[in-house]
Structures are given as C-alpha cells and as structure tokens.
Amino acid sequence: MPHVLVMPLVSQALGEILPRGPLLTVLNRMYDQLENHYERYRTRRYSARPDDYFDYILYFANEQGEWSTFRFTIDDKQAQGYLIVAAVSYCKGKARPG
C-alpha cells in the first residue's frame, strides 16, 4: 500500500480554493482512494510525462450545487512506495468540450 505525500504548494493551493470542511472531505477521499486503490488510477498517465506522473481526477459539488473539477498530478516513480502529490489544477463550472 503506497503512502501519499502532499507537497506544500498543493496543500496551499487547496486551502485557497476550498473552505476547511470541504477540504477535509477531499483529502479523506484522496487518502482512501490512492492508498487503497492506487492500481486503478495509476494507468491514467499524464500524457506529457507518462513515465513519471499520473492524473487523479475528482469532481466535487459545493453547497450551491456548483461543480468543481480537480486534477492532481501525482509522481509514482520518484520514491518507492510513495505517491507524491506534486500539483493540482482546478476549474469551476462549465468546462469546454474536449
């Protein structure tokens, strides 16, 4: 079971985006899913650097029913047994069609 490390820039960015309650909810979900179901997510590689990183996506609705999409970029090659959450990007509301 890998351990999840969150880099300071990521926790700082999340703290600026989310109030503490929702932030706790998001972190708990990440903790559970990445530590227990890493194999499920690791196959979604970051296309620009597939050898090093995978994408972990979370959709979250706020109390007003507005969606947020979080894209975490996670290193699983740097340190054996550890997943390093190195970056997060985020969009709110409607995304552009892909």
Partner 1 sequence: MSDESREYPAVNSTKAKTKSFAAALNYEAVDMRQGWPQAARDACRQIWDLMHASPLENVDEAGKEVESRFDDLINALVEQRDGLVGASQLDSDIRELQQLKRDVLENWPWSSLELPPVNVEMLNASMAAFAAGEKGQRIEVLIRQLSSEIAFEKRRTG
SS3 category, 59: strand
Cα separation of 7 and 66, whole Å?
A: 27
Residue 81 makes contact with partner 1 by CB under 8 A = no
Segment 3 to 22, residues that bind partner 1, using CB under 8 A: 3-11, 13, 20-22
Please report how close the Cβ of residue 51 comes to partner 1 at its closest, in angstroms. Answer: 13
Cα separation of 95 and 77, whole Å?
A: 30
Residue 66 makes contact with partner 1 by CB under 8 A = yes
Please report how close the Cβ of residue 71 comes to partner 1 at its closest, in angstroms. Answer: 5
Q: How far is CA 86 from CA 53, 57, 97, in A?
A: 9, 14, 26
Identify the DSSP state of 37. S
Q: Which residues in this chain contact partner 1 in the complex, by CB under 8 A?
A: 3-11, 13, 20-31, 33-34, 37, 40-41, 46, 48, 53, 55-63, 65-67, 69-71, 73, 75, 78, 84-91, 93-98
